[in-house]
Every structure is written in structure tokens, then in C-alpha cells.
Amino acid sequence: MSNATKLLALAAAALGPVLVRAEPVVFTYTEAVYIDSKEGPLRSPEGVACDDRGALVVADTGNSRLVTYAVREDGVGAGTELKVPQLVAPVRVQLDPQGGTVVLDRKGSRLLRFDAKGAYVGAVEPKGDLPGTFAPVAFKLDADRNVWALDGAGRVVVLDPAGAVTRTLALPKGVFTDLAVDAAGTVYAVDAGQAMVWSAAKGATAFTSLSKSLKDEMSFPAYLVVAKGKLLIVDQVGHGVVVLGTDGSFQGRQLSYGVSEGLLQYPGQLCLTEKGDVFVADRNNNRVDRYTIAR
């Protein structure tokens, strides 16, 4: 081995772990989804959900519909439209473990449930003692099919699969745009105004700040997901994805502004699979972008 090679190997050994720490998640562009099976273009899609069985559901907000796709080894298949009168402005979508879908429709702030065949089941209405108006602005489903809703009344409301209110948790003052819950039951919420993440452990009665204000790192965080021991945050006005540790530490930023494939314009929701596929609802680019974070 020459001296130069030895030096390079030494530098790689020394810098390798540093680089891995600084850039723990790397997005690599794969493909983009523009249309449904009838060549109908997506328009301002804000929501996207996916699972490990190859299902991909797009909340095609501007067209007031859902479009479902099958993700195969060779790419995303043709999309099937799901359009019902109850869908006016679908903005967030989640797949439940039984194959059903829950959609947040911004018009009227309603959570709508669809079964595994795509049939409309009904609106998710809280049952039990819940003061004030329930007007969800974001939500997540956990493994037990409980609905975790970020309510416009400044609280997190947890509903069991039957709709019964099982827990409420007041949010701090802020402009909260999304929440996420991990397998341990810790709930995270993101305040876009201060670019801060808050958390509450299972059983906690109040949120505490997890991160400091990350205004230098994020412009307007709009979506949050916990995956692979990280918090992935969609920075809608910053046109990118910010990666935080579950301790709130800033660990990197991926993607940037642009119109060409692999770039974002006002992204909305993001979903990812165990395999490392990531789909981003690229709202102002009228498409869904597919990336991989698998190494």
C-alpha cells in the first residue's frame, strides 16, 4: 500500500463515523408519480400514505379524491381513483393495519374512514366527554388503530378504534401543525411558528420541549414522522426534510427547492416503508416523489 493510499485510508477511518453521524439519513431519488390510470394528472397533492405490502394512497387535494397505487419492484403501478362526495379537500391520509384508510379532509376538518376495499365507512366522531369543538388539523394512527388527533382547539385527542375519547393532552401555545407517536407511546408535536418539537412520554400530563427553536434549520415544519429512531420533519416553506434525533438534536437536512425531479416545491405529507422507500406529496409540483433511504 502506498503512503498516499495509507493516508486516504486513515482519513476515511477518522472521518467515516463523523460523516455518518452528520448525515444519518440520505434520500436518493427514484421516480415520480404524476398521473392516475386514465392519464389524469395529480393536482396539488398534499397527502400520501404507504405500507410494507406495497400500498400507496395519495390524497390528491386539488382533484378532491384519493388515488391508490401498487408499488412493485419495477416501479409504481397505475393509479385507481377513489372519489366520493365526502372528499372535498383531502390533505392527510393514513393506512391502518387492517388495510383501511383514514383521511383528514380540510373542508370541515373531518376525519373520514374507508374500508380495505375503498368503500366510505363514515366520519370519525369522538364519543364521550370532550368539551369544545373537535376540529382535527392533523392525525396519526398507531399500531392498535387508535387515532391520535391534533385538535384545532389546542390539544391532542386520542380516540380508540370505536371513537371513544381515551386521552386528551393540552398543547403549549403555538402554531402546531402535526404530531407523531412512537412504539413506546411517546407523542411528539411540532410547532411551526417557533420551529420547535415538543414531546410527552406515555402517561405524561403535559408536553415538554424536546428541541430548542430550530428556526435556523427549518422555515415552516408542517409534517412529522417517527421512523428508524429519527424524527423526519417536512419543512414545507423550506422545501426539504429535516432529520432530528429523538432527543431533538439536529442531524441533517435533505432535499431542496426546485421543479425538476428530485426537488420539492411546498411538500406536504411524507411516508416511508420498512424497505426504505420514501414517498413525498410534492404539492406545488403536482406530483408524488419517490426516494429511497436504503443504503
Burial label, 193 (beta-carbon count in 10 A; 0-12, 13-18, 19+): middle
Q: Please report how close the Cβ of residue 6 comes to another protein at its closest, in angstroms.
A: 39
Judged by CB, which is closer to another protein: 61, or 146? 61
The letter for the amino acid at 125 is E
Q: Please report how close the Cβ of residue 13 comes to another protein at its closest, in angstroms.
A: 37
User: Pseudo-torsion of CA 87, 92, 97, 101, nearest 10°?
Assistant: 10
| Of 293, 288, 254, residue with least CA distance to 76 | 288
Q: Which of residues 133-172 bind another protein (CB under 8 A)?
A: 135, 137, 152-154
Gyration radius of the chain over CA positions: 20
Judged by CB, which is closer to another protein: 97, or 258? 258
Residue whose cell numbers read 427514484: 30
Secondary structure class of 246 (helix, strand, coil):
coil
- Relative to beta strand 90-95, strand 155-159 is unpaired
**In the set 27, 36, 42, 136, which binds another protein (CB under 8 A)?**
42
219 is a contact residue toward another protein (CB under 8 A): yes
CB contact set of 4 (below 8 Å; sequence gap of 6+) = none
Q: Please report how close the Cβ of residue 240 comes to another protein at its closest, in angstroms.
A: 13
Judged by CB, which is closer to another protein: 32, or 246? 32
**In the set 25, 27, 36, 44, which binds another protein (CB under 8 A)?**
44
* Phi, psi at 12, each rounded to 5°: -65, -40
234 is a contact residue toward another protein (CB under 8 A): no
From 23-31, 39-47, 118-126, 197-205, give the range in contact with another protein by CB under 8 A.
Answer: 39-47
107 is a contact residue toward another protein (CB under 8 A): yes
**In the set 67, 159, 179, 192, which binds another protein (CB under 8 A)?**
192
Judged by CB, which is closer to another protein: 55, or 153? 153
What is the rounded CA–CA span in Å between residue 172 and residue 151?
Answer: 12
Q: Please report how close the Cβ of residue 9 comes to another protein at its closest, in angstroms.
A: 37
Q: How far is CA 131 from CA 153, 160, 163, in A?
A: 10, 17, 15
From 50-58, 95-103, 197-205, 252-260, give the range in contact with another protein by CB under 8 A.
Answer: 252-260
Q: Please report how close the Cβ of residue 38 comes to another protein at its closest, in angstroms.
A: 15
What is the rounded CA–CA span in Å between residue 149 and residue 92?
Answer: 12
In eight-state DSSP terms, residue 40 is: P
The contact set with another protein (CB under 8 A) reads: 34-35, 41-44, 61-62, 64, 88-89, 106-107, 109, 135, 137, 152-154, 175, 192-193, 195, 215, 218-220, 237-238, 257-261, 266, 283-287
